[in-house]
Copies of this chain bind each other. A is one copy, B any other.
Amino acid sequence: MDNEEGAKLIDVAKLAECSPATVSRVLNGNPTVNRSVRERVIRAAAELRYVPNGSARALRSTRTRLVGAIIPTLDHAIYATMVDALQARLAEKGVSLILNTSTYDIDLEYEQAKLLVERGAEAVLLVGAEHRPQTLAMLEQKRVAYVFTYTSTATDAGAAVGFDNEKAGRAAARYLLDLGHTRLGMIAGITQDNDRARGRRDGFLRELAKADIDAASVPVAEGAYKIENGRSSMKMLMASSPRPTAVFCGSDILAAGAIKYCVEAGLAVPKDISIIGFDNLEIAVLTAPELTTLEVPARDMGRLAADYILASPLQRRHLRERELPISLVVRGSTGPGRAN
């Protein structure tokens, strides 16, 4: 009978011979409770294995200590790692994470955001800067804080913890140009509804244009982040003429596939063809040669986004729009361009 399903706060109060209000105070660390009463309550709660009802608590206090994240997929380490760091940081402060994967679908993302608001999420993490206007409008109307990641452009209401994809694309181009390459190609991620993939591509092409390389002359393939797509895209690129001597891939996964193709096709990397990736995933050291790539601070983004979320509204002002550096990691997959 006392073991039926679960003791409630009032049962604790009875056992501790005090009022429910006092139990609540003790359990919430309110210091205005006498030591002896406090101890009685704690003992009673332990004895009854009392577990508070989060819904009731949330309803009355209007604090859920729940945060939502909507990421494209967990099947890509770049997001999984970010979420790992995010969750770890939030958990330190007793905040739970509700996770949703949108499969890069910003309409689905809207539905998921709605559900998160309904569940009382106090903040929501989103990936990238491209979202349905109604998604952001809803979050704003319901006073739910939100943070963009993998981008550095914040909005009036939303913070950003990330990096500048366009700048990163330019850096990749700059590096290859400096190596002396003049015939370049790119394997981008799917650019539709994806400002990150688009930013990298546009930055890359823009930097080439500055070096008088016409964008129209640069073959660009596009594919979802799968090894096989990297392979097949590379095959296409290598069939174009004149053949590029350097290729920028929007992700290490695509780059790994690209290298795989080169090995199969008997193209020497980097002698015949230089390949530069993006993300610096763990797999970057598994390819032969190891991959030159741009490092994305996935773990940092997760942690810093958590810090933003955990901050008070006042502190948040200082934390919005945080641009993290992207660094080039030079390994073996890139080499000098052939002298013209």
Residues on A close to B: CB < 8 A?
A: 3, 5-6, 49, 51-56, 58-59, 64, 66, 73-75, 77, 80-81, 83-84, 87-88, 91, 94, 96-101, 103, 112, 114-120, 138, 141-143, 227, 253, 256, 260, 263, 282-283, 285-288
Contacts and interface: CB of A to CB of B under 8 A. Distances in A.
A100 B87 contact: yes
A245 B141 CA distance: 65
Given A51-B142, A52-B118, A98-B98, A227 B285 contact: yes
A56 to B, nearest CB: 5
Contact of A55 (B64, B87, B114, B253): B64
A54 B66 CA distance: 12
14 contacts: A49-B141, A53-B59, A55-B59, A59-B59, A74-B81, A74-B83, A75-B81, A77-B77, A84-B101, A87-B100, A87-B101, A98-B99, A260-B285, A288-B288
A252 to B, nearest CB: 10
Contacts of A114: 51
B286 A227 contact: yes
Given A91-B112, A99-B83, A51 B285 contact: no
A143 B5 contact: yes
A109 to B, nearest CB: 12
A52 B64 CA distance: 15
